[in-house]
Structure 1
Amino acid sequence: MHRHETSSTKKVKSRHIPASVNFEVENESLLINPFDNSKRPEKSKPKWFSVRHLSAFLRSTRHTKKLIGICIILLIISTLFIYLCVKDKDIDYDKVVITPNGHKIIYTRFKQQKQCPEKSSGVLEQEKKIFQSVRKEHIELIEKFNQATVNLETITKEIPVKEAELKELELKIEELRLLQRELNDRRNVKLSLPHSPLYPPKNRQRVIGDAENSTKVFTDVSSSFRTLEDSIDYSRCSISSLFQVYVYDTSVTAPSAINLWQELKSNAASTKQANQACLFVAVIENTQNVHKQLNGFFTAKAAIAVASKFAKGSFRPCMDVSVHLQVPAYDILEYERLPQLLPHSRVHLLSYMTSDVDSFSLDLNCSQTAQFNLQKSTTDLCYDHQQRLAFIRRSFFSLIFPDSSSFQERFYEALLAGCVPVIVSMDSNDQSLLPFQDLIDWRLAVVRIPPARLASELHFILRSIKLADLVEMRRKGRFFLENYLLNTKVLSQSILSTLRFRLQIPDKGQFGVVGQEFPAKNYSFNPLVGVTRPPFDDEYLGPVEAPFASVDYAHNMTAFGLYAYKQWNELPFHVTNTPAFMAEDSPLPSEAEFSEETSLGMRPIAPGSGQEFALALGGNRPREQFTIVITTYNRDAVLAASLERLHKLPYLNKVLVVWNNIDRAPSGIWPRLHVPVVFINTSKNSLNNRFIPYEQIETEGVLSLDDDIDLRQHEIIFAFRTWREQRQRIVGFPARYHARYGESMHYNSNHTCQFSMILTGAAFCTSHICTLTLTQCQVSFEKK
């Protein structure tokens, strides 16, 4: 009964309301009585229905199954109907394009509903055409976009290059502004020679005719002719005319003096037209009977007398020349006969030779003053020239007394033997005149003592001279001898140079050599492909200016005064002719380049470092350029590579290529630079051709290069800046060391801590070295 009741009870309960609901939460079952509130779960914790309870729930709602089935069927039918009747447009992906920036552009095509029969086919065709047009425009825009992107990248790469070019143009404009300001400066006036010559005084009559016509008489208010103003007709000695000298025919008998006279007659300054001459020169043995030696020509009073001895009171300091006349002719090997200054080893301290030893006695070891008489003629020469030289060569000093007929000859022999002359006189009277003493500072090579110190203090004076000073005095004596007195060639030129300095007449000379040029009309530039310049070659090194020549002959008048001492005592190669450039001239003070009154042509460096230093040349001198001289033989490819490295080199004026291959001419294809490239044709193959003063060189600075030397542009500019501060030196890169080691000379071409010479294969020098080479070493170079 109990079980039945339970069963019936279940049935009743299942019909109306379930007695309990079983919830599963996290794999746990809980039987809950719906009427038991204590066991009902909280609302905040929802539970999921289990399958059992869902079945119970469906059984309880069986009366609604049919209704739910009908709704589902209706929903499916309605969905199909809507899909068939109201169908949306399908998307057809036609094309996917990826832009350079990585974005995707998707081209789609929209299809119309096929279930809309009211739309005609014409509308579809029109839409297709519109779509094709839009698609075509999109493709064109994409292509334009890609091309614009490429152009943008190209322009982006060119921006730094154009910025550098713009900066270079700005610097060039600034340089042109400075040049325009300098050209407009009133102080920048180009001088020209006067048009009208000088006229003689009214009270003076010039000689008309040649010197052989003794009927012409020269009259003047002054009959003494002691000064140049009384003796010179300055209408023939203008600075705008050539320096011309007429040499009288004399009756000298000594063969050496005749050689000197012939050398004067053959000089380029000598003329045979007496009515055109500026000066008249007479070579005489002595001045006691001048008129007889000049064949009675009356105008000899105004002539310049060249003699070895003058009568007392007859020497005119501003006009006459006192030298030893009996000198040998020029010989290329004469330097081999001169004694060496080193090693410094000689037997005697002092030497003197006379023909009568009874009239003169001197003992340097005696404490008392020795007795001697200088008034007698016993101080004449003895033995011949070679015997005297052999004796003097064994001494450091040579004693010479004044007021003797052999004064000039003894002085010449002392210098020839490498001795230091000791003159027993403090005055330069008519009997103790030194050669060219108004221009040569003989204090550098001569010792003068008063006669009172001869016996008692002479030994102490000579022994107190330091060894280095003694060697230097001997060197200066040899220097003066070789450049002014040694032979007839240098002596005649020294005489004419002395007269030209006294009259202050510039003379250009004829030392320039016109180099024969090859035709350069076929030269072209073939740039190499794929060549990258090193980073340091892209550094700004200075403005690339148009070629301009250096200012030459700027010291025409100061050479006779301000620089006369330096030229005669240090730079004898400037004495013969007026130098076009003077490396030893005086620069302006360092503040001058910043002052408006003195900054003409200056390029001062702005404060700072690096780029400021490269923007301007700087220095205490005006702007300038340099010329490169390259010697080559038969290496066309090497030469072409060397020329290419010089393209756009700042401060470059011109390139001279000395072509030493006499068998063939250079080819017609060479790099075309921003400056002229001139090929010089030579007559023989010689490395010394680089030292020839070609007239094509228009700058003071010259860079001598071998064709196989690889110098970067910044190295060349560094050497150029250094040379501008030391213009009298050779500034270069290949250094060598040489010295005497034992009995032979040691030459070291390896890297060493010391060097004594700079090779001219890559070196800067001043252009007057080329002139010096031509004048002093021409014959020696011709044999090599």
Structure 2
Amino acid sequence: MQAKKRYFILFSASACITLLLYFGGLQVAEKSPGGGHGLEPRWPRFAERLLPFLPFHTQTEEYNLPASPRLKRNANAGLYKGRHCRMDSCFDFSLCKNGFKVYVYPQEKGERISESYQNILTSIESSRFYTSDPGQACLFVLNLDTLDRDQLSPQYVHNLKAKLQNSKLWNDGRNHLIFNLYSGTWPDYTEDLGFDIGQAMLAKASISTENFRPNFDVSIPLFSKDHPRTGGERGYLKYNSIPPFRKYMLVFKGKRYLTGIGSDTRNALYHVHNSQDVVLLTTCKHGKDWQKHKDARCDKDNAEYDRYDYKEMLHNSTFCLVPRGRRLGSFRFLEALQAACIPVVLSNGWELPFSEVINWNTATVIGDERLLLQIPTTIRSINQDKILSLRQQTQFLWEAYFSSVEKIALTTLEIIHDRVLQHMRRSSVMWNNLPGGLFTLPQYSSYLGQFPFYYAPLGIKPQQRFTAVIHAVTPLVSQSQPILKLIVAVSKSQYCAQVVVLWNCDKPLPAIHHWPATSQPVIVIEGESKVMSSRFLPYSSIVTDAVLSLDEDTVLSTTEVDFAFTVWQSFPERIVGYPARSHFWEVNKERWGYTSKWTNDYSMVLTGAAFYHRYYHYLYTHYLPASLKSLVDQLSNCEDILMNFLVSAVTKMPPIKVTQKKQYKETMMGQQTSRASRWADPDHFAQRQTCMNKFASWFGTMPLVHSQMRLDPVLFKDQVSILRKKYKDIERL
């Protein structure tokens, strides 16, 4: 009897401890690997392991909450023999000895490719990684459309196994990347692609954490066939309102799914809907036989669904629910990001897009399908500062990585690039802060302090010196030429470290004695004649962070140089200078126009007399495609416009114009310089308008931003009387 008592007491104590862990576990917020702020209501893993022994079915019946989708999806694990592949076991690094180059299989006759997959391939082929030589390639991308692997879809490609075996480059998928948006079909929607991917990497939407191979696969977002190839719309957050609350607290509008996978989650949403600040709408009207499965709530739900406009809800809600659909991913995710509606993800086990590099705790709230009733309480507890921060981050992530197919494809490649070339991989700070990983090339530097965007966050002050780079295209025939006066004026600046003359003239270099004697060194670099893009090469002679770019016939005084440099030190990530221009939209011709007329605003500061950070030389050379630089060289024009496009695309801000001055060009006695004559050429402006539209087409949008700000000494930072004395010569010009 004593033994029975002891066993009974032991069993009771075990049961109490189990229940304590179970119910206590419900209140614990598990922190994600990327750090977090306690916004992710998840079950601890020890509680999950106890599920078979706990009375969860009772709660499920009482609240109509779904059982764990994670447990259901375990059946999908191990769908391919490369299940345990990692970079060190299934990737041949020896193929990357020539750097990270990507080869796209040539398209074969008779093979159908969807518009979405063609957009991915085009984006790769126009990227800095592309090579047409498979012998130089580190990574291979198929010409076979693998985006839609739903057997019921008209886009489904048959006989993939046989087609891959006929390829000489396939090599069991080694160093291959396969893109996929949809996998599986009714009723289970498993993650099986319908063919053996071998040792290939997957760039897959709606991938589960069970099937995701960390640091090998890449989780990508589900995007629609209408998603733009390049550019894309900017986020909808136009200004930061305080307090940051909107009309609705939480919204959702979508299909209910009466039966099958995904139906449990959406069927339970009506428990939280209150028709006031929490509006969660579902409709039964989907599929051919929905009426066969309709329940008592369908008519009421359908009527409520039709009363609300989805876009109005999206733009006027603080949070947007993103529940799983048939698959784990949903179009609602990207829609919420763009609308600055903080996504509340309700899809257990979904590996979020680009999770390897993006810290989603800074832009989303991760919920749990089994704790649906806690969602309203959780989001109501988030303070205003955090809401504003989350909303701002949705806009950054949308514009940096998700607004176009091109950005999605390039982000995928950049992630793999960082794995292959680990000594040059980007830090988490680079990925999760402006301007983002696509504009922060690690080949330039692995140190944040070398990039102008991080000066302020790191508390770094720009160097007190600059390098002047003068672009020379005219023979040196007279000691009175503007370039010689310019060298003298610039070298007298207290901040000038050196003067670099880029000799792009087809005449031989002048003898040393023809150049003026200056207190600062003058370095002459012989470039290629009529290669305009060469003025922005990352020359090793440029040793300072600040570059003063000058045309040979620019007229600036030493005082003007000093003041412009002082202004640049406050805006090191932007172009700061004198000659301003603007763009406008020609309604009748439906194209962008270019103007040099003096107006109240501007959107460009030309590099004929402007400061910028030397990183933009590297970005111009290595980020922009050869096609745009070839256009510049062919026209011997527009390189200054292209640099403005690039810097505005990176910063999302306009350049800075400094003190007004109308005379920038000078003519020689008796004849004009060849440079000056271009400004009187009517074809000059026609070419620049052509360039504007070519550049806007490649960027997929117009990155230039208008501004009405001008900085003069009497208006800049310090006391007026002091600066009037410090830069008094400017007033006399």
**Which structure would you say has the larger RCO, counting Cα contacts within 8 Å and 6 or more residues apart?**
2
